[in-house]
A and B are shown apart, each in its own frame.
Chain A
Amino acid sequence: MSFFPIEDPQFWIVTMVTVGAVIVFFWRRKGGGGGSCKDCPER
């Protein structure tokens, strides 16, 4: 049976880091316009 170790503070730390990563990922995509390839010079 699967579970979330909600009593473990480290679980919350890694979950917050992951949520932060998802927010930054989508925020970058929106701002960058070119998604993951925004580093490519526009030629």
Chain B
Amino acid sequence: MDLAAQATIRMAIVGNPNVGKTTLFNALVRGSSRVTNHPGSTANAVEGECRHSTKTLRVTDLPGTYSLQLDLPEADLCRLHLQQEEAPEVLCCVIDAMGLGRNLKLLAEVLAMRIPLVVVVTKTEEAKLRGQRIDIAALEEYLGVPVVEAAHKSMVRKLDPVSLLEKARVAHFNAEDPQAFRHWRTELQARVSLPVNPRRAKLRRQRDDRLDRVFTHPVIGVVIFSVAMSLIFGSVFWLAQTPMEWIDGFFGVVAQSLSARMDQGPVHDLLVDGVIGGVSGTLVFLPQILMLFFLVSLLEETGYLARAAFVADRWLRPFGLPGHAFVPLLSSHACAIPAIMSTRLIPDRRDRIATILVAPFLSCSARLPVYILLVGILFPGDPILAGCTFVGCYLLGAFAAVASAGLVRVLLVPGASMPMVMDLPPYRIPSVPEAARIAMERGWSFLTRAGSVILLICILLWWMSSYPATPESSNVVALRSASQIQVDPALAAEITAQADALALRESAAASYAGQMGKWMEPVLAPVGADWQLSVAVMASFAAREVFVSSLNVLLGVSEDVEDQTTLERVRSSTRDDGSPLLPLSSAGGLLVFYVLAMQCMPTLAVTRREAGGIRWALLQFGWMTLWAWVLGTLTRSMLLWFGVA
């Protein structure tokens, strides 16, 4: 087969888990798949393309596996992909210098396939620190295929797809029977793996072991994890405060200048209340999202999160969740959809169903703006308490997930869960640019959501909260008359503002959204919601963060509140009876409701597909909503009982 003459070439990246396949894939296709420092993050074959002059390279990133012959979902997926009709024409096998011996089984299988191959050896720098040097020239000679060295992550990113293609060669491998393979493996390791500075390596290993003993301790490990997370969340609140005020101020100025240039009317109201009010309500939380993902990425880069997984495994297993569930549950903190999809890697169906059902309990990034708003109302100007409450939200979600999993395993899918074998990555100095890149990626995804889905929902919600229109009531007319005969201009302006606010509230109450909110109010009242908050809760079924934007749209950005921040606006808003819109008891009740509620239609659709039936999606929705309502009501009642209004 003449690859040089082909316009489109199919290439697949294979390798053990956590060797750097996704980093290479991103480098080749200039993609942005999330790279993690723990194994098992790629559940599906991810495809990407890169064009180079007249050639198109179609690259597939396959899930990590130790052998193609294993009876595991990831091995099945790789095998099917490599043996399909449109099988890859070039293979790129990524091997990790840190554990060369472990990589050789898969490498031998790939060599035996007689497909043009290039081998990329990663983490050679780290291997040297651990006392092992890989002789690349000797490896190339022994394998009979080109070998490219990528000492660390930044070197993997510099690899050029065309040069890899040009280098690829078919190997002449003849060690397929077990005995020949054992001989081949032993000889290869003896020839290419050379010891370097063994004393220093031993000290490093001892240091890592000492750290592991602390971080994976059943009690100390949990304490360290809780403290680390509390510090991260506390600093997120503290550091993001000023940029949040800048963003709020910016949108206030835009709304004011638009009001000054446009006549009052529906188009003005749509732009100021619907578009600017709605989108700014979500965008204001961008600094916190950036900060949180930056700090969590730094922590993950160190290799610490994999140790946290190890600790979590001990806690998960008694509740019937397999160790394999940890990676999907961890990624559920970003979004439950990819998390549920990655449960495909869990071999046992009962384990998989249990994980799918409970994954949305874990706090996803769409809940963050709601948490930030409600926690900000509960603890204004107290980043430490706010940070602790934030951690409490995450812990409550995790506890609900684990407890629900226990019940699911007892009642619906009984049986013992399978143990997990996990390869702990080495401790690394975190890369600040890499963490910044991940934070920017998340921030961009948040921005595009605010500019698309959230904007569209805000426009619809504005229309529904404005129509049908109602003529001004006698109370509003009386206030307007009073302002006209008032001689003091300041007092006249104040009465006009009161009349505007009353008119806005009355028109919103009579609108379609208001009618829906009033219909829903009796159901959500025990949690602490009035009709306005009920509208926001219902609107957030399309996307959770719409809760904040909906409130902004419903409360309107009248001229007297344009200079207020989102938080201040919500805090100063009132209900129909003049009481605060969000008293502390309601903020607490709603916070617990949002931690536990299943308010994500796309997640339900994915659950239905992955669990294999609508009954699982309905069960998930019913179970989570029930818990959210019960515990939300209980929280509000307790707060009221303790005298917190």
Contact = CB atoms under 8 A, between A and B. Distances in A.
21 contacts: A4-B467, A4-B469, A8-B265, A13-B266, A14-B463, A17-B459, A18-B460, A18-B462, A21-B455, A21-B460, A24-B456, A34-B337, A35-B601, A36-B542, A36-B602, A37-B366, A39-B445, A40-B337, A41-B34, A42-B341, A43-B44
B129 interface: no
Q: Give the most central of B44, B341, B453: most A CB within 10 Å.
A: B453
B44 A37 contact: no
B33 A41 contact: yes
A17 B457 CA distance: 12
A25 B453 CA distance: 7
A15 B510 CA distance: 18
A37 B337 contact: yes
Contacts of B44: 42-43
Contacts of A8: 265-266
A3 B46 contact: no
A24 B453 CA distance: 9
Q: Give the most central of A5, A39, A40: most B CB within 10 Å.
A: A40
Interface of B: 32-34, 41-44, 46, 265-267, 270, 331, 334-335, 337-338, 341-342, 366, 445, 448-449, 452-453, 455-457, 459-460, 462-463, 466-471, 510, 542-543, 600-603, 605-606
Contacts of A2: 468-470, 510
A2 to B, nearest CB: 4
Q: Give the most central of A21, A29, A37, A43: most B CB within 10 Å.
A: A43
A11 B294 CA distance: 45
Interface residue tally on A, bucketed by range:
20 to 34
Given A25-B457, A43-B34, 8 more contacts: A3-B469, A10-B267, A14-B266, A25-B460, A36-B600, A36-B602, A43-B42, A43-B338
B445 A28 contact: no
Contacts of B542: 36
A25 B318 CA distance: 43
A1 B341 CA distance: 50
A26 B62 CA distance: 32
A1 B473 CA distance: 10
8 closest A-B pairs by CB: A35-B602, A2-B468, A18-B463, A21-B459, A40-B335, A39-B445, A36-B543, A10-B266
Contacts of B338: 40-43
A35 to B, nearest CB: 3
B342 A43 contact: yes
Contacts of B43: 43
B457 A10 contact: no
Contacts of B601: 35-36
Q: Give the most central of A5, A29, A35: most B CB within 10 Å.
A: A35
Contacts of B334: 40
Given A21-B460, A25-B456, A14 B605 contact: no
A11 B445 CA distance: 33
B619 to A, nearest CB: 20
Given A40-B338, A43-B34, A43-B46, A1 B267 contact: no
A14 B461 CA distance: 12
B248 to A, nearest CB: 24
Given A14-B266, A43-B331, A1 B460 contact: no
B460 A22 contact: yes
A18 B466 CA distance: 12
A8 B264 CA distance: 13
A39 B364 CA distance: 14
A32 B342 CA distance: 18
A15 to B, nearest CB: 7
Nearest to B43: A43
Contact of B267 (A13, A22, A40, A42): A13
Nearest to B364: A37
B141 to A, nearest CB: 37
A36 B267 contact: no
A14 B602 contact: no
Contacts of B449: 36, 39
Contacts of A10: 265-267
A37 B266 contact: no
A6 B107 CA distance: 72
Q: Give the most central of A3, A21, A36, A41: most B CB within 10 Å.
A: A36
Contact of B468 (A3, A25, A35, A39): A3
A8 B542 CA distance: 31
Contacts of B605: 35
A10 to B, nearest CB: 4
B602 A34 contact: yes
A24 B460 CA distance: 11
Contacts of B33: 41, 43
